[in-house]
Structure 1
Amino acid sequence: MPHTVVVGLGRSGGGLHAPVLRRLRDTHPELFAAHPIVGFDPRSGTALRDGLAVDSLERAAAAVPPDDTVVHVCTPPGTRVPVLTRLAGLGFRRFVVEKPVAADPAALIGIERLRAAHGLDIVVVTQWLASALTRRIDDVVRSGRFGPLRSIMVRQDKPRFGRSRGAGHADAFDVEIPHTLAVALTLAGPARLTTAGRPEPDLGPLAGAWLSVRHDGGAHTTIRSDLTSPVRRREITLRLRDTTVVGHYPVSADDHHAQLRVGDGPREVFEDESLGAFLLAAYRYFAGMAPAPPGEFTDHARVVRLLAGARALADQDVTAHAG
């Protein structure tokens, strides 16, 4: 039964991973060591409720056996290579890494080298791939009952005026879009970037972002994220030849229900606690009880490269308008 270390105790690590892990430890004790969760944050004085907070990665390695520990890396994307390098040097080999796995293609190459040199087993958090809503949508698409998939449109709106900056995100492409882009690649296959931009560049890079991709199979996806919106929405619309599918993911950590409507059919409402489902699948995998959770590392690498291309296009567009 593996121990648990959470590195980065901000919104992601302390606010999402740690509470879900505490619940999973109560409901699935066979998957976790009895030792308390160990937490470390580079910011001094960060607390960890019902856990053991340490002041260095070295103390974390002394508190648990590194070769029998799962480390949740919840620090900002730009820190991934140095953090993983230090953890690998301390003997840790199994990781749950927040999305996106790397800040840019150069960092991605660094992580791929670390994986090869140290035999790292990295599971990237893409909980929407473990979502009950995603599974139901995938079943509709793959059934072929309504003809081929033609397009995917995603709207992700929520107010995040201060939190995204505090989490160390470079821009809005890092916040919500990686989750949905991974879903689109799963539903429609590999894709190439066509267009991207920022809807309100005057409000800064964290205000919002959008991108469009063309999938190899012919469908196209557009994802729009507004982080200044006064309302919350996580909506996905798929157009197939013979119907339209509309789904709504939970909009916050306090909301664990999704909704789905296929064509003119009834609206379905069902429980969908995707982060818990994803982390449970990850620990079952690390315990040797199940396959890896959904999302291959190669898929996450594609997400990083597509996001880098989208960011470059958006930057070019902002520069052109400023000139």
Structure 2
Amino acid sequence: MKKMLFLVLLMPFFATAQQSFDLIDFSDDFSGKIIVDDHQENSELETNCTLNIYQKKSGKLFFSKPAFYSEYDVEYSKVKSNVQQIPYGEQSILIYEDFNFDGKEDIALRVGNYSCYGGPSYEIYLADKNGFVYNESFTELGSNYCGMFTVDNEKKQLQTMTKSGCCWHQFSTYVVENNQVVPIEIIEESYSGFLVDYSVQKRINGKMVTSGYQKFAEGNEPEFTMIFENGKKMHLMGIYGDEHLAYIFTNAEDVVELFIDEGFTYNKAHKTVSFQNKNTGYIVSEKEIVVKDNGKTYHLNKVKQTAGSFNNLKWDRLTNVQIK
């Protein structure tokens, strides 16, 4: 009976015993420790531990907040810090870096995995003369994109990335004004098979101005390609299950200058493809492009190289091509 009573008295001690890990040295002025509590409750976050930061000289507790850790954070019985493998690699519980470019290191504290695709999410605390102060603007960058943002100290800029599936990505660049992040460029790319649509927002005179363009997507294999000496390219390819012909003319950076997918005529005898774009006519052969505009004729024949052949196109299957 006495033995059972002794065990009952010990149970609260074992139930409340907490596991703790020191942080691998991250600062000349501070040391850190996490105290694990798997039963920590927070309706908004996924925190399962407390991160404490102490002044090295005095040993005084300087900063203490709920945080999230996993077994991958622990290495040789210590917790890793300042690990930031962007965009999908390892990102540690603590990132200690100057985020607002004022010369003082700030704190990014991982509080869960609710950024895109279950990636790490961070609260940001900026250093001031009294300690570290939570900043909502920076926290949004550390929580609502794909993991932690990156810091470009040379340009004094921050970058984020986010995505949806394989075919939509967003890349954003920010500057810091009065400890608030301000977007200066947002680029969205959306893949639609052989073309990529780009939407670009740039801050001009305090306002975001939007423009757009298309690029010929990498990895496509057109049936015929003509590359000119100035780097421009012309592609002929079957699209939509090889049942439609597409003409794509790009500049040297693969930005689409002209895209046509209707009204083609194929001349079997001359082995040419012709089409009309408004008042301008085009006749394409394997050697040149003849352009007729306002009564004038231009020969685009400074060809550096070609790839493929008209013979690779299944002309009789192309529903938008008239054969004569």
TM-score (norm 1): 0.20
> Per chain length, whose mean CA-contact separation is higher, i.e. which structure has more relative contact order (CA < 8 Å, sep 6+)?
1
TM-score normalised per structure 2: 0.20
Q: Which is richer in helix?
A: 1
Higher alpha-carbon Rg: 2
